[in-house]
Amino acid sequence: MTNKNKNKRSRSENRVEGRSASRSAPASQAPRRRGLLDSIFAPRVAGATSMPRIRTSLARGAVTVASTPILTVSAIAIVAIEWLGALALGFEGPFTLFVTALALPPVGTSFDATLSTALFGLRGGFFAILGFVALRAVVQALLVASIVEVLRSSPPGRWTMVRTLRTLPVTLAISLAGVGLLTLASLLGPLLGPAFALLIQMGALVGGVYLLSFAPVIAADEGRRIPDSLGRSVRAARMAGSGNLTLAAIYVVASIAVLVVPGKPGSELGVNPLVAAWVIVLVTNLLHLAMQATVAFRYLSVADDVPEGAPKRQPAPRARGRR
């Protein structure tokens, strides 16, 4: 290890220790062991939160995207490339489907499912969605890493790629979880009746955004592994008074409203979208990116206040003397 790296490690350890100290101070007793879905069912963290207000967060998210040309250009380029790729695969529209191309999972995952089904049918689409999910994971990892860099007042550069690579497993896990959530919702919906089907679908989307949206930010900023990132995302989402559920619900409802509103340009079959259709799709995707920046800003604002999870369950000592 070089001296430079030693210094980095030393500073990093100091900061982690500092965070740990501030977080562990109120809990004097020994932490309980971690169990299945511990993060979701654990009691909420009491007390006030330093999570920024929703309006403040949204404004910060929008400014982050608007003031960073590389983010704006990247988002537009990604949407355009995805559209051209879909055309190459035989997609015939409607173009308006692409308003959720950069949406947060699982809203964006529903785009993957729809696109893969439209291209390959239900049977082929079932397998094709895995490819689309992988692509979404790469794109989201890249964008989240860039956003975190920007929010940390660092221009995206070579470190962005490092953050991207470390975020990728988490974004992949979230996208797969999104597929699972949507599948579960589509299976449960018909069982409970048509009146509940829509409610369950919406609930799955809101729940997914609410609980999982912080995880890529955590992975990008703190380099945590998948279980840590997911658990910490859930704990951050459930911080009392944070308004995260409200924000998730607003986001999901708005996303679906834009998707299903009738009569907008590009909502019919066709592969030659008009300028108006392009503007709608590009602006909507920039808003999705702004939402991603909003989520990142909110997490980074409270990162020090998010409690650590209970320690891992230790494996039972092996019986000695076994042959």
The residues binding another protein (CB under 8 A) are 8-9, 11-12, 15-16, 59-60, 62-69, 72-73, 76, 80, 87, 92-93, 117-123, 149-155, 157, 159, 162-163, 166, 221-225, 268-279, 282-283, 286, 297, 300-301, 311-312, 314
For residue 254, the Cα-to-chain-centroid distance in whole angstroms is: 17
Which of 93/106 has CB closer to another protein? Answer: 93
DSSP string covering 158-183: HHHHHHHHHHHHHHHHHHHHHHHHHH
Rounded-to-integer distance, Cα 307 and Cα 59, Å? 27
Query: Of 137 and 252, which CB lies nearer to another protein in the complex structure?
Result: 137
Rounded least distance, CB 213 to another protein, Å: 17
The CA-atom distances, in angstroms, between 210 and each of 104, 106, 262, 295 are 10, 10, 27, 10
In the complex, the smallest distance separating the C-beta of residue 251 from another protein, rounded to whole angstroms, is 20
**Closer residue to another protein, CB minimum distance, 199 or 274:** 274
**Closest distance of CB 44 from another protein, Å:** 25
| Nearer of residues 234 and 296 to another protein, judged by Cβ | 296
- The least distance separating another protein from the CB of residue 232, rounded to whole angstroms, comes to 12
> What is the number of residues in the chain?
323
Nearer to another protein by Cβ, of 44 and 53: the residue is 53
Contact 310, 34 (CB under 8 A): yes
Nearest distance from C-beta of residue 78 to another protein, angstroms: 12
Alpha-carbon distance of 276 to 75, in angstroms, equals 18
Closest Cα to residue 212, out of 250, 178, 243, 182?
178
Nearer Cβ to another protein, position 122 or 191?
122
CB of 182 to another protein, least distance (A): 16
Q: Which position has the token pair 């409607």? A: 94
| Residue from 224, 206, 173 nearest 103 by CA | 206
In the bound complex, what is the minimum distance in angstroms from residue 168's beta carbon to another protein?
12
Q: Are 196 and 245 in contact (CB under 8 A)?
A: no
Q: How far apart are CA 286 and CA 66, in angstroms?
A: 9
The residue (of 245 and 303) whose beta carbon lies closer to another protein is 303
Type of residue found at 321: G
